[in-house]
A and B are shown apart, each in its own frame.
Chain A
Amino acid sequence: MSDLKRTPLFALNTELGGKMVPFAGYDMPVQFPAGIMKEHLHTRAAAGLFDVSHMGQAWLHLDAKGGHDEIAAALETLVPGEIKALKPGQIRYTLLLNDEGGIRDDFMVSRPAALEKAGTLFLVVNAATKDADFAHIAASLKGKAKLERLEDRALIALQGPKAAAVLERIVPGVAAMSFMTIATFTWERAELFVSRSGYTGEDGYEISVPGAMAVAFARVLLSDPAVAPIGLGARDSLRLEAGLCLYGHDIDEQTTPVEAGLTWAIGKRRKLEKGFPGADKIIDQLFNGAKRVRVGIKPEGRAPAREGAEIVDASGAPAGRITSGGFGPTVNGPIAMGYVRADLANDGTSLSLIVRGQKLPARVVPMPFVPKRFHKP
Chain B
Amino acid sequence: MTTKYTKDHEWVRVDGSVATVGITAYAAEQLGDVVFVELPAVGRVVEKGGDAAVVESVKAASEVYAPISGEVVEVNTALTDEPAKVNAEPTGAGWFMKLKMKNATDLTDLMSEDEYQAYVKGL
Contact = CB atoms under 8 A, between A and B. Distances in A.
A330 to B, nearest CB: 11
B33 A36 contact: yes
B63 to A, nearest CB: 9
Contact of B36 (A31, A36, A327): A327
Interface stretch (A194-202, A278-286, A288-296, A300-308): A300-308
B32 A327 contact: no
Interface in B26-78: 32-33, 35-36, 38, 54, 56-61
A21 to B, nearest CB: 10
A304 B35 contact: yes
Given A31-B32, A334-B36, A356-B38, A306 B58 contact: no
Contacts of B32: 31, 35-37, 233
A90 interface: no
A233 B58 contact: yes
Contacts of A306: 60-61
B103 interface: no
Interface residues of B, number: 14
B33 A37 contact: yes
User: Chain A: interface secondary structure?
Assistant: mixed
B117 interface: no
Nearest to B59: A233
Q: How large is the interface on A (under 10, 10 to 19, 20 to 34, 35 or more residues)?
A: 20 to 34
Interface string A111-141: 0000000000000000000000000000000
Given A37-B32, A302-B80, A329 B58 contact: yes
Contacts of A37: 32-33, 35, 58
Contacts of B33: 35-38
Given A36-B59, A233-B59, A304-B61, A327 B35 contact: yes
A232 to B, nearest CB: 9
Nearest to B33: A37
20 contacts: A30-B59, A35-B32, A35-B33, A36-B32, A36-B57, A36-B58, A37-B58, A38-B33, A302-B80, A302-B83, A303-B36, A303-B56, A304-B36, A306-B60, A327-B36, A327-B56, A327-B58, A329-B58, A334-B35, A356-B38
Given A31-B32, A36-B57, A356-B54, 6 more contacts: A35-B33, A40-B58, A233-B32, A302-B36, A327-B56, A356-B38
Interface of A: 30-31, 35-38, 40, 233-234, 236-237, 302-304, 306, 326-327, 329, 334, 356
**Nearest 9 pairs between A and B by C-beta?**
A37-B33, A327-B35, A36-B58, A327-B58, A35-B32, A233-B59, A302-B36, A303-B36, A35-B33
Interface of B: 32-33, 35-36, 38, 54, 56-61, 80, 83
